[in-house]
């Protein structure tokens, strides 16, 4: 029903708009102390309430932070904002806290597990958290990673729909078909993402009650194997749930009804279809964006992911959109894809993957796609650079980490040193917000405090080239010129603009 989609995209000349589809980043991070032990400090008091905060949340554990960017059409813009959020978070940490740079948590003691289980200050989620603790245990829920969101621009969908009106009754059905094809292809090619970005080769002491035999040696990605971020075998959740959108919705609904899953939040498949909160309305109201959750945090970039990786993933999303899916074979293909991903995830990091030949063919096709859609040079370079990694496993993050294991097969020393290094670099930087140096010191201070308090911000240029700061809180938007921020305490200024703003009692206007 999506026949010749690539040709239609070329004919309509919308490839550039696809490259500017919105990208959003969500990164989970564990706080640790100077020894690399899980932090006992509460969520930073300088940050606004998690009930409404658009940028800083917590996950299963109080020490497990989640940083969320706004959707952005440009990779540079998304990465700049992530860097800014990281800087604000680092400068808001309390005591000796710093950020653990790895997806797998540090060493976990019995006391750590008891502390995590007993300390949680979000009553609205307490029942769900108790359920997860009983079912999965503590350690399985404190793995971290990066979630990448992508949405097709609505104008592109509307223009493409004019070619498929005979196949779909309404544009919502067409939109759903586009997104679901993307989800299917991402699942079919998940092994490649696990190979390129897997960065969880070992589990530290205390993660497993007994280390599984498959993990007696370093692997590419524990987190992306069935030992990691996955539903239990008895949950009846596997890759075949992606065989069709009706099946996806019906099967997930049945699992919740029969109490195999608590809610749709407990679905840990690699791709989430995001729309309205109610699963029953997904088909009727439409998918709005995709969330891919299979990327490990890289400890070789202070933001957890590289610019090159984001360019590659954006093209992979577009490839997933234009590549046909064989509906007659999709169930078998999904089953095989799950087996392939598991096998790649559990390979030795330094060995050439059994999928190398297929990987080379895939990259050849991806390069051709990029050229045919007039991709810019940096995107094509990213594709070509990652193509080299297929035949050079020593270039993968997991292989680089394998070389940093100590004599006990641990990454504790490496992780602790990297966490300390990055904290020093963030807190010791000359500029308060290094990715916003075009702003004055006072404007940076205002943005910094706004982010802390949960005020959404944008910096844009007006028709005269002046930088304008757009601040939004509780549906109220204020616009000020960046060069004319008043010389007064920024918290008082923000409180004046937003009278309903809640300010922590410990508040002051000094960034650490």
Confidence of residue 98 (pLDDT cuts 50, 70, 90): very high
Q: Which domains does the chain have, with CATH numbers?
A: 5-416 (3.30.590.20), 435-497 (no CATH)
Partners of residue 24 on adjacent β-strands: 149
229: tokens are: 């971020």
Mean pLDDT value of segment 220-238: 97
pLDDT at 510 over 70: no
131, 134, 124, 125: which is closest to 256 by C-alpha? 131
Confidence of residue 511 (pLDDT cuts 50, 70, 90): low
Confidence of residue 507 (pLDDT cuts 50, 70, 90): low
For residue 505, the model assigns a pLDDT of 74
Q: Tens digit of pLDDT for each residue in 416-454?
A: 999 999 999 999 999 999 999 999 999 999 999 999 999
Place of tokens 């006992």: 40
Q: Tens digit of pLDDT for each residue in 280-323?
A: 889 999 999 999 999 999 999 999 999 999 999 999 999 999 99
Cα→Cα distances 236→29, 215, 261, 266, 398, Å: 29, 24, 10, 12, 30
For residue 121, the model assigns a pLDDT of 81
pLDDT at 237 over 60: yes
Burial 349-385 (b: 16+ CB within 10 A, else e): beeebebeeebeebbeebbebbeebebeeebbebbee
265, containing H or E segment = none
pTM for the predicted model, two decimal places: 0.96
Mean pLDDT value of segment 249-263: 97
Cα→Cα distances 504→107, 255, 339, 433, 454, Å: 32, 41, 49, 22, 12
Confidence of residue 116 (pLDDT cuts 50, 70, 90): very high
For residue 276, the model assigns a pLDDT of 77
CA–CA separation, 506 vs 46, rounded Å? 7
CA–CA separation, 99 vs 12, rounded Å? 46
Mean pLDDT value of segment 13-42: 97
């Amino acid at each position: 029903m999506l026949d010749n989609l690539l040709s239609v995209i070329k004919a309509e000349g919308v490839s550039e708009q696809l490259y500017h589809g919105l990208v959003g980043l969500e990164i989970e991070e564990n706080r640790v102390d100077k020894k690399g032990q899980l932090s006992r400090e509460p969520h930073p008091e300088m940050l606004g309430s998690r009930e409404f905060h658009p940028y800083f949340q917590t996950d299963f554990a109080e020490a497990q932070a989640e940083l969320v960017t706004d959707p952005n059409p440009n990779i540079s813009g998304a990465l700049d904002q992530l860097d800014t959020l990281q800087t604000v978070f680092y400068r808001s940490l309390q005591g000796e806290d710093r950020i653990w740079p790895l997806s797998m948590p540090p060493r976990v003691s019995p006391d750590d597990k008891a502390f995590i289980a007993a300390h949680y200050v979000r009553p609205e989620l307490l029942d769900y958290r108790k359920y997860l603790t009983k079912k999965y245990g503590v350690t399985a829920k404190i793995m971290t990673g990066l979630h990448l969101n992508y949405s097709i621009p609505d104008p592109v969908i509307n223009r493409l729909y004019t070619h498929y009106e005979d196949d779909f009754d309404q544009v919502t059905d067409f939109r759903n078909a586009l997104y679901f094809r993307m989800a299917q292809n991402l699942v079919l090619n998940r092994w490649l993402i696990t190979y390129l970005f897997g960065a969880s080769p070992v589990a530290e002491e205390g993660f497993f009650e007994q280390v599984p035999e498959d993990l007696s040696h370093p692997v590419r990605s524990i987190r992306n194997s069935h030992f990691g971020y996955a539903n239990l075998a008895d949950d009846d959740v596997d890759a075949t749930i992606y065989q069709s959108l009706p099946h996806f919705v019906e099967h997930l609904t049945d699992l919740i009804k029969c109490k195999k899953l608590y809610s749709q939040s407990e679905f840990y498949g690699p791709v989430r279809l995001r729309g309205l909160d109610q699963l029953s309305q997904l088909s009727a109201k439409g998918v709005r964006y995709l969330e891919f959750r299979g990327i490990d945090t890289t400890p070789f970039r202070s933001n957890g992911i590289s610019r090159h990786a984001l360019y590659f993933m954006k093209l992979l999303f577009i490839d997933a959109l234009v590549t046909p899916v064989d509906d007659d074979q999709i169930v078998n293909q999904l089953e095989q894809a799950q087996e392939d991903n598991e096998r790649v995830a559990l390979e030795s990091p330094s060995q050439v993957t059994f999928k190398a030949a297929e990987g080379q063919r895939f990259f050849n096709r991806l390069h051709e796609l990029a050229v045919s859609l007039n991709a810019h040079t940096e995107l094509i370079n990213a594709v070509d650079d990652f193509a080299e990694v297929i035949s050079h496993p020593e270039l993968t993050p997991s292989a680089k980490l394998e070389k940093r294991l100590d004599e006990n097969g641990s990454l504790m020393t490496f992780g602790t040193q990297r966490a300390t290094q990055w904290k020093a670099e963030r807190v010791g930087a000359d500029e308060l917000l290094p990715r916003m140096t075009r702003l004055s010191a006072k404007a940076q201070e205002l943005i910094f405090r706004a982010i802390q308090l949960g005020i959404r911000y944008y910096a844009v240029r007006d028709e005269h080239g002046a930088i304008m700061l757009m601040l939004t809180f509780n549906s109220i938007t204020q616009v000020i010129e960046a060069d004319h921020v008043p010389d007064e305490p920024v918290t008082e200024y923000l409180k004046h603009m937003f009278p309903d703003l809640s300010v922590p009692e410990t508040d002051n206007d000094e960034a650490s």
